[in-house]
Amino acid sequence: MIRVDFYHLQKSTLEQILPKLCEKAYQTGKRILILSGSEERVEFVNSLLWTYDEEAFLPHGSKKDGFAEEQPIFVGADERNANNATILILVDGARPEIDVLNQYERVLNIFDGNDKAAVDFAREYWKKIRDTGGELHYWQQNDNGSFEQKS
């Protein structure tokens, strides 16, 4: 059974949260695939992970960098698990089919709560995963910007 954690951004942007979630996931020693909803956003995310903090380092790359199978963190818009990841992070409306999600130990779906279309999209995806028996967790930002699990 697939576990999917939905992260509802309300106080922070993707640019602020994604690197932090990647750092936590990378510390587990697992490989990560960041799946973007569009090819145009792949290089934006790739660049973000290089520049978000001059004191931090997350080894990663994209198709442009090559050597996908060697990247601990790979950023792409293609659902193919090019780096043999066990953690999948969905951004920018990426919405793979359930059979794709089942390839991963854990899936994180990050969506912008200030964008009505993104919220509607996340709700539809939640229902689709729920209807197939997935284990769902919902994390919402509080007034301080920290995530709290809601039931």
The pLDDT tens digits of the residues spanning 82-100 come to 999 999 999 999 999 999 9
Range of the domain at 127: 3-150
Using the predicted structure, report yes or no on whether residue 4 has a pLDDT greater than 90: yes
What total of structural domains would you count in the chain?
1
Q: pLDDT per residue over 33-50, tens digit each?
A: 999 999 999 999 999 999
Instruction: Tell me the mean pLDDT in the region 64-80.
Output: 93
pLDDT given for residue 66 in this prediction: 84
H/E stretch holding 71 reads: none
Q: pLDDT per residue over 99-142, tens digit each?
A: 999 999 999 999 999 999 999 999 999 999 999 999 999 999 98
Contact predicate 47/64, CB 8 Å:
no
User: What is the residue whose two structure tokens read 């969506």?
Assistant: 111
Using the predicted structure, report yes or no on whether residue 21 has a pLDDT greater than 80: yes
CATH number, position 131: 3.40.50.10110
pLDDT given for residue 1 in this prediction: 78
Using the predicted structure, report yes or no on whether residue 151 has a pLDDT greater than 90: no
With residues binned 3-state (H G I as helix, E B as strand, rest as coil), the percentages for the chain, rounded to 5, are 35, 30, 40
Cα distance between residue 96 and residue 17, in whole Å: 21
Q: pLDDT band for position 143 (50/70/90)?
A: confident
H/E stretch holding 89 reads: strand 87-91
Instruction: Tell me the mean pLDDT in the region 46-57.
Output: 92
